[in-house]
Amino acid sequence: MVRYKLEILGSLENVKELYTDPDLTTRWYIKLHCTNCGETPGIDNQWVYFNGEMHDASNGQQANFVGKCKECKREMTLRILPNTLQPYVFDDDIQPRYRSILEVEARGMKPTEYDFRAGWNAKSSISTTVFSDLEFNECHQSGKDWVDYDSVANQEVAAYNLQSRFVRMPN
């Protein structure tokens, strides 16, 4: 199996961290690419749960996602590695940079894209407010944005230009 890191990048305004809740069933919307034939199924039907059900693969392994390529019918599996989920923390004094938030093992496929959709939360850096179930907007081609108002601190909070990438890890 090949290991990949999911890294995200973005600018946070009055937000201490972005994170998913490992106690909830988070849907990870990931675009997959078959390593056998090169087919890339649509993103809407290729998602995995982080903490939900595990499925049996034909090789006897357990995985968060088990599917078959629509083109060549080869089995594809993706397993989210335990204890690798990390929040995205933005340091005001450092230029925004990609940071690893999750690691996965893939067989028969490689993850190529992640889409921010649901299951994300944010902690305010100016109060104790926590924002749940963030709704991201496609505001420009380079990323997604989320904007809200912290009524305790009377200031805007936001995550701008959220981007993601998968990086293959050395064996």
Letter string b/e over residues 92-114, b meaning 16 or more CB atoms within 10 A of that residue's CB: eeeebebbebbbbbbbbbbbeeb
Model pLDDT for residues 118-165, shown as the tens digit of each residue: 789 999 999 999 999 898 887 656 678 999 999 999 999 999 889 999
pLDDT at position 6 is 96
CA angle 68, 42, 51 (to 5 degrees): 70
pLDDT at position 5 is 97
Q: Residue 9 contacts by C-beta under 8 Å, 6 or more apart in sequence?
A: 96, 97, 98, 99, 161, 162, 163, 164, 165
pLDDT at position 140 is 57
Query: What stretch of H or E contains 38?
Result: none
pLDDT at position 23 is 63
Q: Residue 78 contacts by C-beta under 8 Å, 6 or more apart in sequence?
A: 30, 32, 48, 63, 64, 65, 104, 105, 106, 107, 109, 111
pLDDT at position 43 is 45
Amino acid at 64: N
d(CA 109, CA 115): 17
pLDDT at position 129 is 97
Residue stretches of the chain with pLDDT short of 70: 23-25, 41-53, 92-93, 139-142
Q: DSSP string spanning 71-120?
A: TT--EEEEEEPTT----EE--TTS----EEEEEEEEESEEEEEEE--SSE
Q: Residue 64, SS3?
A: coil
Question: What pTM was estimated for this model as a whole?
Answer: 0.86
